[in-house]
């Protein structure tokens, strides 16, 4: 049963909705610059873009004048860690109606933001939304921005470029492209869980699971995009492998994962890493991930498994 209170959390229907676009980034300045250029091609621009980074090298000299024309660009520095960086963006975007989080390697089709704005404007019970991916190379070798744009261009040829505001309920958001209704986030004091450090494995599922108590998570047919899956600056294999076990178990105890989901997640990743350890893909450290998986299982048996343990690995 939804506990969403439309009067408290929905924008007024007689005005446009204000949107802040947030990007948490570490170590991928060249890709980030390409992503900013793509934002400038949107049919509906955000009112502000906030980039949260850890060091000056993460943005490679990008400053206030490097955003899309007419869009305010703000860069904020904090300690690295996806949940922490997203919380900093949430705080900085407090006066907006929506925050749209995209990864620094996510390429949006031109009507992406327009579709998001319209769906939230017309559906007060939608508290979070995620797009419909043309392609996701997170499990592949990674793509160039040019390849991503080519896929979007072909998708427009195949489907047309008319605005599409149809949507269906979704179980959770996907962090590479995820819009949140900020009034609802503020009303219930929601934050990303900083106990999921660094890459924050499953932080998007955890956050939107908690947000779903107050409304609907939507998957938008007209918010199309490509996740490039750039491998640069990803967590080391051993750390990520540990998170693949520790984070689902932690989220099970927290209530964000069901026993079945947690079990399937751990088993699937353990099986994949074990099966490919002898002949790994050149872009995945399967042996490191498997070592991390096994270390997490050993820690669980000893009663000392915690998500934060990856900071010591």
Pairing of strands 216-227, 126-136: parallel
Q: How far apart are CA 62 and CA 74, in angstroms?
A: 10
Predicted confidence (pLDDT) at residue 291 exceeds the cutoff of 70: yes
What average pLDDT does range 193-208 have in this prediction? 94
**Which tens digit of pLDDT belongs to each residue from 19-71?**
999 999 999 999 999 999 999 999 999 999 999 999 999 999 898 777 888 89
* DSSP letters for 142-172: ---HHHHHHHHHHHHHHH-S-----EEE-SS
**Cα–Cα distance measured from residue 269 to residue 57, given in angstroms and rounded to the nearest whole number:** 32
Q: What is the mean pLDDT of residues 135-163?
A: 95
Which pLDDT does position 305 carry in this prediction?
95
Would you place residue 11 in the very low, low, confident or very high pLDDT band (cuts 50, 70, 90)? very low
User: What dotted CATH number matches 6-227?
Assistant: 3.90.550.10
Which residues are 136's β-sheet partners?
227
pLDDT at 203 over 90: yes
pLDDT of 9 higher than 80: no
Residues 6+ apart with CB under 8 A from 12: none
pLDDT of 8 over the 90 cut? no
Q: Give the per-residue pLDDT at 286.
A: 94
Please give the structure tokens belonging to residue 222: 């007209």
**Contact between residue 258 and residue 171 where contact means Cβ atoms under 8 Å apart:** no
Mean pLDDT for 95-118 is 97
Residue 234 pLDDT greater than 80, yes or no: no
Q: Where do the domains of the chain lie? A: 6-227, 237-312
Q: From the DSSP assignment, how many helices (H) and strands (E) are in the chain?
A: 10, 9
| Residue spans of beta strands (DSSP E) within 151-263 | 167-169, 177-181, 216-227
Residue 160 has pLDDT above 70, yes or no: yes
Pairing, β 72-77 against β 98-102: unpaired
How many of the other CB atoms lie within 10 Å of CB of 311?
11
Q: What is the pLDDT of residue 13?
A: 42
User: Cα(280)–Cα(165) distance, rounded to whole angstroms?
Assistant: 41
Is the predicted pLDDT of residue 140 greater than 80, yes or no? yes
Q: What percent of the chain has pLDDT over 90?
A: 87
pLDDT of amino acid 12: 40
Residue 14 confidence (pLDDT) above 50 = no
The pTM of this model reads 0.91
């Amino acid at each position: 049963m939804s506990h969403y209170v439309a009067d408290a959390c929905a924008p007024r229907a007689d005005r446009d909705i204000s949107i802040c676009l947030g990007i948490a980034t570490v170590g991928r300045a060249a890709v980030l610059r390409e992503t900013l250029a793509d934002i400038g091609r949107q049919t509906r621009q955000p009112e502000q873009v906030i980039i949260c980074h850890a060091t000056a090298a993460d943005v490679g000299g990008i400053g206030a004048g490097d955003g899309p024309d007419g869009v305010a660009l703000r860069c904020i520095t904090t300690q690295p860690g996806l949940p922490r960086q997203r919380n900093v963006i949430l705080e900085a975007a407090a006066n907006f109606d929506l925050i749209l989080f995209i990864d620094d390697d996510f390429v949006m089709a031109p009507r992406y933001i327009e579709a998001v704005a319209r769906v939230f404007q017309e559906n007060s019970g939608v508290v979070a939304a995620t797009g419909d991916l043309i392609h996701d190379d997170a499990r592949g070798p990674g793509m160039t921005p040019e390849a991503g744009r080519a896929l979007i261009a072909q998708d427009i040829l195949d489907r047309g470029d008319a605005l599409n505001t149809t949507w269906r309920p979704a179980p959770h958001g996907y962090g590479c492209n995820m819009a949140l209704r900020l009034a609802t986030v503020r009303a219930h004091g929601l934050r990303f869980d900083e106990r999921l450090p660094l890459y924050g494995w499953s932080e998007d599922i955890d956050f939107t699971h908690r947000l779903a108590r107050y409304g609907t998570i939507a998957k938008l047919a007209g918010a199309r995009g490509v996740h490039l899956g750039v491998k640069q600056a990803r967590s080391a294999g051993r750390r990520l492998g540990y998170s693949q076990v520790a984070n689902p178990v932690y989220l099970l105890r927290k209530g964000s994962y069901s026993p079945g989901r947690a079990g399937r997640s751990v088993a699937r990743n353990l099986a994949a890493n074990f099966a490919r350890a002898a002949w790994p893909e050149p872009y995945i450290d399967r042996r490191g991930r498997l070592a991390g998986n096994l270390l997490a299982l050993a820690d669980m048996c000893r009663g000392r498994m915690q998500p934060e343990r990856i900071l010591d690995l």
